[in-house]
Structure 1
Amino acid sequence: MDHADRPGARPAARPDGNAPSADPAPPRRRRRPLRTALVVLAALVVAGAAGVAATGTLGGGGNEQASAAPSGPPRTATVEQRTLTRTQTVAGTLGYGTTTPVVAPASSGADAGSGGSARNADGPGPEIITALPGEGDTIRRGGSVYSVDDQRVPLLYGSIPLYRTLRVGSEGKDVAMLEKNLAALGYTGFTADDAYTEGTAEAVRAWQEDLGREQTGTVGPDEAVVAPGARRVAEVKAALGTVPTGEILTWSGTERAVGVDLDVRYEDLVDQGTKADIELPDGTSVEATVTEVGTAATAASSGGNGGGQGSGGSSNATLPVRLSVKDQKRLGRYQAAPVEVTLRAETRKDVLAVPVEALTARREGGYAVQAVRGSAVEYLPVKLGIFAGGLVEISGDGITAGLTVGVPR
């Protein structure tokens, strides 16, 4: 290190041979107070824009009095009575939601020596897939999911899969599910309850005849696929002419929805029924409603996958949120796309509001606004409500619609 740079070093002689100046303060030290003032001013401006710290001239003591100002505030605003909506815009994804697989059932007629492949009733060969839907197809109640040996395997609506062979004398929720579907498909002669009767068996035979299946009057686990409602085929994984094993296809719901991995900071903004505006890639907007709010999940932001942006061992916790779109036509041709989701977290009607910049911090805490009446300015303490769109809800003594307030900065 150069000798002149060491703390306490004697000042070096000037190049002209004259003694060094008696002024002990180097130019950098003289600039420091100005630099500090600029930093403080910048901090106040940033804090004011956020509506968290002072945005105007600091108020006086606890009893602010009207005073004659030699010059009024730089500009003014008017207290307005209006509706404020607190919003937050986050990233989302438009699509058909989570896909689930359709798996070929283990056939009760499987031959132990054939590796689990079911045998065709007409011979020793295994059952063969003879029909499959196309990707993007919609399958509704009674529609064919796939066919095996030219016998259609239909879709039934429900939440209980077929796990046993249903026949006369069977009782339970799975029986009730089957009978409700038969009734919805137009078959009669039985009561839709949880008991499988001769009437049920007769309706099943009629249904099997329409499907091109053997008319047994019983229903086995491999004779239908159960799902909560209509399904859209996402991907066909099996091939024609192969044995039905493993995943046949994957599918999802038929309506497009929006998914959001919401940062837990915004957890208080959403609940079932919360409204939102969805902005599509082409700039058009459609309304959506929050229908599901999941449990927070934590994903590592660094390490194995290299996709994190945090540092060290930090992690980002998110909530899976699903929003439904009632007007599907407004989504146009988009099947999957990134979208912007503006959550309408809170709405306050008929409140008094001013620009955030009109707030002035009080020394004793809280905020005030400058009521401008002619050439006089009076500081009126205010209570803050919600912030929305650059405005803030205020209330307090003397605060009325139409009041002119100063905007200090």
Structure 2
Amino acid sequence: MAETAVQTDHEPGAAPAPPPRGRRGRRTVLVASALVVVAAVAVVGALGLGGGGSQEGSSAPPRSGSTVPVTRTTLTERTTVDGQLGYGTEIPLPVKATGTVTWLPAEGTTVKRGGTLLRVDDRPVVLLYGTLPMYRELGLTAGTQQGTQQGTRQETGAEGDTQKSGDQGRTDEPSGAPAPSGSPTPGGAGAGAGAGGTGAGAGGSGGTLRGMDVLQFESNLAALGYTGFTVDEEFTGLTARAVRRWQKSLGLPQTGTVGVGDVVYSAGKVRIGHANARLGSPATDDVLTYTGTSRKVVVNASAAEDSWAVRRAAVTIALPDGKSVKGEVASVGKSATAPEEGGGEGDSAAPTVPVTITVKDQKSVGRLESAPVTVEYVGRERADVLTVPVAALVALAEGGHGLETADGRFVAVKTGLFADGRVEVSGSAVREGMNVRIPE
């Protein structure tokens, strides 16, 4: 009867109306629609068509059941650590001059050989190059001074051609450059006396000052252009004459003697750090700090993972501007430093050792003097091994990993090094060139 009632309610020639849908019927339609949408999303995700845009150019193959070949290559494990670009740790200058500080250079100033590091009692403290510290006064001994003074007076007279045998009061230093050792002088007397003066130093009662510190100082004196003596381990009268000319250029009394506080030695030119004293303060052995003039990177490497840090190991330094420069490990600290306290609950930071990395091409760093950088180094490396994308690995029911071949078979493999999105694989059923499937 219900069916007849429905038909009489329609106009003649009209299509039959659909049967009435109750609450249960609508629920069934909604559930079916939801299942279709979920299935569509799953397919889109598997095909890599979701809202991430096109993946064109990506090195990883899409996870759509496509196949990739097993390739033979070299896998390299690369690790990055944080570092700090700068000039290295500042260390105190070994200043031994005593008195009042009367002049200081600006921080960041570069001082070369012969340059003034600071002034104490208005006397310059000069930088020279060397590894042996200044530990004693350099000059003529008592036995050499008398002979040298006599030779100097007579040589002065010979150069001016006015020296008289009775004139023993003139001791002024000649203004011209000294004659080279062994060179002839007018009249012959000056040459003989000069030689006698030097010889008296060698065999005099006080002896001649000798040592490696003398050789180091004379090498610097000659490099600065004050010559006329033999660069060796012996401080002679000719050395003293060159010292007096050097002292005259510095505005110092021309004594021919170099005091312990007059010079400071370093391995090369230095960059002035910060001052620990002000003008008018007493000079101390830590009045100034310095560094080298080449920029370098210091990394606080984990003491448990510092096997990469060996001298001459090559690294890559990523600068803040995105550029990369080559570096080389120069030194590794011998003592590990514990992490600072207060790092937060659960802080498990390991002790670290300082690793210093040099940059040979200083121009590649640009104008940066200090900046945080990232250092990349090579950890492990496996050469000439079979590899596949990591995504090709499948977990086998019996345990371990395997690969799915193009025809649907599964072969067990042993995994090795993971690096750059690939993994080293080996096994009796794996060969170079075989195609394996990327699981869906």
- TM-score under structure 1 normalisation? 0.67
- Name the CA distance, whole Å, in 1 between partners of 2:351 and 2:430: 41
> Any idea what SS the aligned residue of 1:299 has?
coil
Q: Match for residue 247 of structure 2?
A: 208
Number of positions where the alignment pairs a residue of Structure 1 with one of Structure 2: 311
- Name the CA distance, whole Å, in 1 between partners of 2:215 and 2:267: 15
Partner of residue 309 from structure 1, selected from 344, 348, 354: 344
1:258 matches 2:290: no
Q: CA deviation at 1:272?
A: 1.3
Q: CA deviation at 1:255?
A: 1.1
Q: Which has the larger radius of gyration?
A: 2
Q: Match for residue 387 of structure 1?
A: 418
1:332 matches 2:366: yes
Mapping for residues 152-231 of structure 1, pairs under 5 Å: 152-168=124-140, 169-231=208-270
Q: CA deviation at 1:296?
A: 4.5
Q: CA deviation at 1:383?
A: 6.0
- Name the CA distance, whole Å, in 1 between partners of 2:302 and 2:215: 42
Q: Match for residue 98 of structure 1?
A: 89
1:21-65 per-residue CA deviation (whole Å, 9 max, x = no partner) reads xxxxxxxxxxxxxxxxxxxxxxxxxxxxxxxxxxxxxxxxxxxxx
Mapping for residues 58-69 of structure 1, pairs under 5 Å: none
- Name the CA distance, whole Å, in 2 between partners of 1:194 and 1:177: 8
- Going from structure 1 to structure 2, the CA distance change for 1:187 and 1:329 (only over 3 Å counts) comes to same
Q: Match for residue 277 of structure 1?
A: 316
| Greater fraction of residues in strand | 1
Identify unmatched segments of 5+ residues in structure 2. 1-62, 141-207
Partner of residue 105 from structure 2, selected from 121, 128, 133: 133
- Going from structure 1 to structure 2, the CA distance change for 1:247 and 1:407 (only over 3 Å counts) comes to same
- Name the CA distance, whole Å, in 2 between partners of 1:364 and 1:291: 50
- Name the CA distance, whole Å, in 2 between partners of 1:182 and 1:375: 83
- Going from structure 1 to structure 2, the CA distance change for 1:129 and 1:265 (only over 3 Å counts) comes to closer
1:85 matches 2:89: no
Q: CA deviation at 1:365?
A: 8.1
Q: CA deviation at 1:363?
A: 8.2
Letter in 2 for 1:405: V
Identify unmatched segments of 5+ residues in structure 1. 1-71, 108-117, 119-127
Q: CA deviation at 1:341?
A: 1.2
Q: CA deviation at 1:106?
A: 5.4
- Going from structure 1 to structure 2, the CA distance change for 1:206 and 1:352 (only over 3 Å counts) comes to farther
- Going from structure 1 to structure 2, the CA distance change for 1:103 and 1:294 (only over 3 Å counts) comes to closer
Partner of residue 344 from structure 1, selected from 372, 378, 381: 378
Q: Match for residue 286 of structure 1?
A: 325
Partner of residue 391 from structure 2, selected from 357, 362, 383: 357
Q: CA deviation at 1:269?
A: 2.2
Q: Larger deviation: 200-209 or 330-339?
A: 200-209
Q: CA deviation at 1:241?
A: 4.5
> Any idea what SS the aligned residue of 1:199 has?
helix
Q: CA deviation at 1:278?
A: 1.5
Q: Match for residue 236 of structure 1?
A: 275
The percentage of counterpart residues that share the same residue type is 43
> Any idea what SS the aligned residue of 1:247 has?
coil
Letter in 1 for 2:72: Q
Alpha carbons 1:262, 1:321 under 8 Å: kept: yes
- TM-score under structure 2 normalisation? 0.63
- Name the CA distance, whole Å, in 2 between partners of 1:377 and 1:210: 90
- Name the CA distance, whole Å, in 2 between partners of 1:190 and 1:396: 77
- Name the CA distance, whole Å, in 2 between partners of 1:206 and 1:177: 18
Q: Match for residue 33 of structure 1?
A: none
Letter in 2 for 1:263: S
Mapping for residues 21-100 of structure 1, pairs under 5 Å: 74-100=65-91
- Going from structure 1 to structure 2, the CA distance change for 1:84 and 1:207 (only over 3 Å counts) comes to farther
Q: CA deviation at 1:343?
A: 1.3
- Going from structure 1 to structure 2, the CA distance change for 1:73 and 1:238 (only over 3 Å counts) comes to closer
Alpha carbons 2:72, 2:386 under 8 Å: kept: yes
Q: CA deviation at 1:367?
A: 5.3
> Any idea what SS the aligned residue of 2:241 has?
helix
- Going from structure 1 to structure 2, the CA distance change for 1:319 and 1:237 (only over 3 Å counts) comes to closer
Partner of residue 118 from structure 2, selected from 143, 146, 151: 146
Alpha carbons 1:260, 1:322 under 8 Å: kept: yes
- Name the CA distance, whole Å, in 2 between partners of 1:193 and 1:251: 30
- Name the CA distance, whole Å, in 1 between partners of 2:340 and 2:396: 41
Q: Match for residue 48 of structure 1?
A: none
- Going from structure 1 to structure 2, the CA distance change for 1:358 and 1:156 (only over 3 Å counts) comes to same
Question: What RMSD in Å do the two structures reach over aligned CA positions?
Answer: 3.0
